[in-house]
Amino acid sequence: MDRLSSTTLLPDSFHGARDDITMQLGLIWSQIKAPLIVPLLRIIVVLCLIMSLMLFIERAYMSVVITLVTLFSRKPEKRYKWEPMKDDEELGNSSYPMVLVQIPMYNEREVYQLSIGAACGLSWPSDRIIIQVLDDSTDPTIKDMVDLECQRWASKGINIKYEIRDNRNGYKAGALKEGLKRSYVKNCDYVAIFDADFQPEPDFLWRTIPFLVHNPELALIQSRWKFVNSNECLMTRMQEMSLDYHFTVEQEVGSSTYAFFGFNGTAGVWRIAAINEAGGWMDRTTVEDMDLAVRASLKGWKFLYLGTVKVKNELPSTFKAYRYQQHRWSCGPANLFRKMVLEIITNKRVSLCKKVHVIYSFFFVRKIIAHINTFVFYCIVLPATVVVPEVVVPKWGAVYIPAIVTILNAVGTPRSLHLLVFWILFENVMSLHRAKATIIGLLEASRVNEWIVTEKLGDAFKGKAATKAPRKPRFRFGERLHLLELGVGTYLFFCGCYDVVFGKNHFFIFLYIQATAFFVMGFGYVGTFVRNS
């Protein structure tokens, strides 16, 4: 049988209409390109280059500071007075300060035993420590399990309190605030806070409390996070690289230079007097920890970061959980900046230098510019210059600065140097959600106060995976589908194809690779996939 040509299958009128539409679109593009698209894209490129320089200078500055701190061995014990706590024959245990340990949790079926067990295992005089479990769980079964676990430890002589509320107002901030109102807390001097998946070592209090005891100007001791599941999948390795840089460089630089940094919400010890003076916990944003830290700093309190004290915890290993976490971590700081920038400017208790650090470095560059520029410049503007070759991006802005910033980021996790390319691709994809969340926070749009607790899988998941034969999950269309990633991936793929046909600089290689990363994550093939039961 002779093959049917397209002309026999489609009427001539269709081809004519198709050609007309193509010509009309081409005509419209040619008419708006020179007077509108090219000037607008050039302005955006200049703005992106300025933001890239700001990020580069910030990273370079922090690299210089951390190098000097290392060379001159500016250890916390040299900057602040530290002496080990000793027994007093006359006063006995009353010479030790009273410490409250708070564990806020919400439906933490997989990890509640780990966190409660670790808190109850802290080494400190038994009559000078109170473990407070703040359970906001909505699942009655989980509440009963947590209550029984607390009773089990109480039967061993541990001073543990199980506290619940009849509502979840304020989420974590509300729970912590209610916990401090209990009558038995009035005798406590300090409060250590651990999220439900955090497991402090027994000597945690012995290594942190002395700094607060001997240095009355210190309000907060923040320890470092140690990730127990960083090798679980490629996504957790990428998270480890970003967070290691945050702790190794950002927190250390803030502590060493300005005695200020953002409280990480867990694995830290607060002076209760400082919390009260700062106004207590507030739930006006989704970063109540950062909110309290900024307010306490404006009251003149200082913070200390202890990188040598590490607390084990779990990274989110499902893409869904990680997306929700990053939305909260990006939207909250932007919204807090909007609410507090005038208060910081008008504050009279801190120096101008510290104000500039908080407003410019801490908030503007790291929490706003970093997220927006990463997505807009590398995922939107640079690909657009392929379609609009009249706009040229200098090589120092497109290649050299990103390369240097990437190398500096690898300082925190040298064992993952070989994964730098994957980290770049992963961070560019996640910048889509971070930029979106940042804009939502700045504009106080919908989802600005969305709070979804980060899902933890814990050892229970690992046990199930080891004992049960894997089942082939039933794929549900849409359960793993992420349209935003797929949309950006399609845009990058189109720009790559355009570069293959019309371009001359082989930029399509990056575009295709980055588009593939967006597609992989858009179809949900990243992280650990746990099908909804």
Question: How many C-beta neighbours within 10 Å does residue 79 have?
Answer: 15
- Alpha carbon distance 433, 229 (integer Å): 23
Element (H, E) at 271: strand 268-271
Instruction: Look up residue 496 and give its two tokens.
Output: 């790559």
Instruction: Give 330-380 as a DSSP string.
Output: HHHHHHHHHHHHHHHHH-SSS-HHHHHIIIIIIIIIIIIIHHHHHHIIIII
- Alpha carbon distance 4, 129 (integer Å): 85
Catalytic site includes residue 289? yes
Which residues, including other chains, have CB under 8 Å from residue 504's CB and lie 6 or more apart?
Answer: none
Instruction: Look up residue 480 and give its two tokens.
Output: 């793993």
Q: Which of 135, 244, 283, 289 is catalytic?
A: 289
Q: Which of 136, 197, 244, 283 is catalytic?
A: 136
Question: How many C-beta neighbours within 10 Å does residue 277 have?
Answer: 15
Of 475, 514, 468, give the one whose Cα is nearest residue 491: 514
Q: Which residues of 153-179 are buried (b: 16+ CB within 10 A; e: fewer)?
A: beeeebbbbbbeeeeeebbbbbbbbbb
Catalytic site includes residue 136? yes
Q: How large is the angle between the packed helices 234-245 and 401-409, nearest 10 degrees?
A: 90
Contact between 270 and 191 under an 8 Å Cβ cutoff? The reply is yes
Instruction: Look up residue 505 and give its two tokens.
Output: 């600089």
- Alpha carbon distance 225, 309 (integer Å): 9
Contact between 401 and 52 under an 8 Å Cβ cutoff? The reply is yes
Q: Which residues are annotated as catalytic?
A: 136, 289
